[in-house]
Amino acid sequence: EASRVEGSEKLLKLVIEVGEPATRQIIAGIGKVYEPEMLVGKQIVIVANLEPRIIMGLESQGMVLAVDGADGPVLLLPEKPVLAGTILK
């Protein structure tokens, strides 16, 4: 799932599968470059071993990995499909 965070131009709320029984919610500042519908069904690289943080009243249970591009953040994506929860090496 992906949706805009109400009251923010750049925050998106992502609900993702990470190879655990429960999904994780991540609040990411990528909304000026990515529309929510662009992300549904895509695999992205995240950091999952972080303490949860509250961002605009919503709990974020991880962080997406991105690089700074000329037009803003560029998400890191696997080259080919991998199992949800695969460890980054």
Mean pLDDT in residue range 26-42: 96
- Whether 30 contacts 45, CB under 8 Å: no
Q: Give the mean pLDDT of 47-64.
A: 96
Task: Give the pLDDT score at 88.
Answer: 87
Average pLDDT rounded to a whole number, residues 24-43: 96
- Residues whose CB is less than 8 angstroms from the CB of residue 48 and which lie 6 or more positions away in sequence, other chains included: 18, 24, 61, 62
As a whole number, the mean pLDDT across the chain is: 95
Which candidate, 19, 70, 21, 22, places its Cα nearest to that of 46?
19
Please give the Cα distance from 67 to 42 (Å, whole number): 17
Query: Is the pLDDT confidence value at 32 over 90?
Result: yes
In contact, 67 and 76? CB cutoff 8 Å = yes
pTM for the full predicted model: 0.92
Of all residues in the chain, the percent with pLDDT exceeding 70 is: 100
User: pLDDT confidence of 77, banded at 50, 70, 90?
Assistant: very high
